[in-house]
Amino acid sequence: MRTILLVSILSALVQDPPPAAPTGGKVAWGKDPAAAEKRARLEQRAIFFYFTDGGLPCKALDAGAFSAADVTNVCRRLIPVMLEGTDDKANEEWRKRLKVAAYPTLAILEPDGKTSYEITARETADLSAELLKAARKFPGRDVMWVSSVESAVEKAKDDPRPIAIYFHAADEDLGAAQDRLVKLGGQSRVDKFIWVELTATVDDKDPLKQKFEYISLPAIGWLDSRFPEPKKMGIYELKASAKAKDVQDKFEERLKKYKDTKVKK
């Protein structure tokens, strides 16, 4: 009997631990509200916030509406963000901003970053209908930016084009910036680059300024991703007074340099 008991204990010890309880159901939640705000302004889509403490009502929501196809599908048209309330200080700024008084709290923040409202629906059909209203009100718009050089390099592997990095101040409207670039450079030229947007400063200690050596913002830096370490192809400061012909000439110069550059395989 003692031997059987010992074997049972050893067997239990070597078995894999039970999987952690899932949180958030099947929705592809983000966890960075600041990044979500930036995307919302750029893409003109609403943010769907889910504040959870992992308690029983939240678990019921995770296993119910947040695992249902109707809800997960409409969430793809929004920017879903899950923030956990593990203690009184967790995500305190956002809880105050959206007036979170209990868990779970579901809230919509519109792209202006100011207008928000709570969703009280919990059943799948009702919640799906409420989310669909927000998705239809803010259907989004096409954007050309990717959010990192690494993403652009990966994209260039399948779609070889020079990379253009748009360095900008944190408060710049990237939608307006995109419209301006297309107006000055022409859609056909703009489309010949893979575009990255990076928040930067003119502080001499800013690593981006040190690496790319711009003086003012916004500025455009170019990279040739065909090299093991992407190679810089120059910088251009986009002044408020920039003329279309000047911008187009700069784009053409970089395209020619990219075309003429010999890369050893």
Q: Distances in Å between the alpha carbon of 26 and those of 33, 45, 51, 118, 134?
A: 19, 20, 16, 21, 20
Share of the chain above pLDDT 90, in %: 80
Judged against a pLDDT cut of 80, whether residue 216 lies above it is answered with yes
- Determine, yes or no, domain membership for 15: no
Count of structural domains within the chain:
2
- Determine, yes or no, domain membership for 198: yes
HSE-up (13 A, CA, CB side) for residue 157: 6
The chain-wide mean pLDDT, for the chain, equals 91
Of 137, 165, 186, which residue constitutes the final position of a domain? Answer: 137
pLDDT at 265: 62
Statement to judge: residues 237 and 176 lie in one domain: yes
Instruction: Flag whether the pTM goes above 0.75.
Output: no
Statement to judge: residues 114 and 150 lie in one domain: no
pLDDT tens readout for residues 177-192:
999 999 999 999 999 9
- Determine, yes or no, domain membership for 12: no
- Mean pLDDT within 229-253: 96
Residue 152 belongs to domain spanning: 145-260
Q: Which residue has the higher pLDDT, 110 or 147?
A: 110
Q: CB neighbours of 138 closer than 8 A, spacing ≥ 6?
A: 44, 45, 46, 110, 111
Of 119, 137, 155, which residue constitutes the final position of a domain? Answer: 137
Of 90, 116, 137, which residue constitutes the final position of a domain? Answer: 137
Statement to judge: residues 124 and 153 lie in one domain: no
- Determine, yes or no, domain membership for 69: yes
Residue 179: CB atoms within 10 Å: 11
Statement to judge: residues 149 and 133 lie in one domain: no
pLDDT at 153: 96
Pairing status of strand 116-119 against strand 105-109? antiparallel
Tokens at 248, concatenated:
């187009």
- Mean pLDDT within 29-37: 93
Q: Give the integer Cα–Cα distance in Å for 223 and 227.
A: 9
pLDDT tens readout for residues 194-204:
999 999 999 99
- Mean pLDDT within 150-156: 95
- Determine, yes or no, domain membership for 25: yes
pLDDT at 1: 52
Share of the chain above pLDDT 70, in %: 91
Judged against a pLDDT cut of 90, whether residue 15 lies above it is answered with no
Statement to judge: residues 27 and 129 lie in one domain: yes
Judged against a pLDDT cut of 60, whether residue 82 lies above it is answered with yes
Judged against a pLDDT cut of 50, whether residue 12 lies above it is answered with no
Contact by Cβ (8 Å): 200, 217: yes
pLDDT at 35: 87
In this structure, what CATH number is given to the domain that contains residue 250? 3.40.30.10
Q: Give the integer Cα–Cα distance in Å for 225 and 150.
A: 10
- Determine, yes or no, domain membership for 10: no
pLDDT-derived band of residue 88, with 50, 70 and 90 as boundaries? Answer: confident
Of 91, 92, 71, 84, the residue nearest 28 (C-alpha): 71
